[in-house]
């Protein structure tokens, strides 16, 4: 805080001894010590409060960053899920269309085969 050397304190002590006198000097030193202690306690209290506020602000910033990251992750997962669902739906529709086409082809082949068999029987009956 303040840079006070030993010699500066000695000079202040000698001046105080001359001005106040040897009878009241111990009381003055005690009072001065109390005031210095209170000043230090106040200083440390203010410093601790500022540090707590700075830490709280840092925690709030971290919490905000975590919320933003969580939101971004949720959006990414949601978009991935939506694209997978749409691709699965397209694949399902493709399979249904292919199955429908195959079934229609089987029905057409079966009816054509029946017609051929019937015609073949008719040809044999004529012979």
Nearest to 17 by CA among 29, 6, 8: 29
pLDDT tens for each residue of 88-120: 999 999 898 888 888 887 777 665 555 555 555
* Residues of the chain falling short of pLDDT 70: 1-2, 109-127
What pTM does this model have? 0.44
DSSP calls for 59-100: HHHHHHHHHHHHHHHHHHHHHHHHHHHHHHHHHHHHHHHHHH
Residue ranges per structural domain of the chain? 48-85
């Amino acid at each position: 805080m303040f840079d006070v050397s030993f010699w500066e304190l000695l000079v202040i002590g000698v001046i105080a001894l001359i001005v106040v006198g040897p009878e009241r000097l111990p009381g003055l030193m005690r009072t001065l010590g109390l005031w210095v202690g209170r000043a230090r306690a106040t200083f440390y209290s203010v410093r601790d409060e500022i540090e707590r506020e700075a830490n709280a602000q840092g925690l709030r910033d971290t919490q905000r960053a975590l919320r933003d990251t969580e939101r971004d992750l949720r959006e990414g997962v949601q978009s991935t899920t939506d694209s997978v669902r749409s691709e699965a739906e397209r694949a399902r529709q493709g399979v249904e269309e292919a199955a429908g086409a195959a079934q229609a082809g089987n029905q057409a082949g079966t009816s054509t085969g029946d017609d051929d068999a019937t015609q073949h029987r008719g040809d044999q009956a004529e012979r």
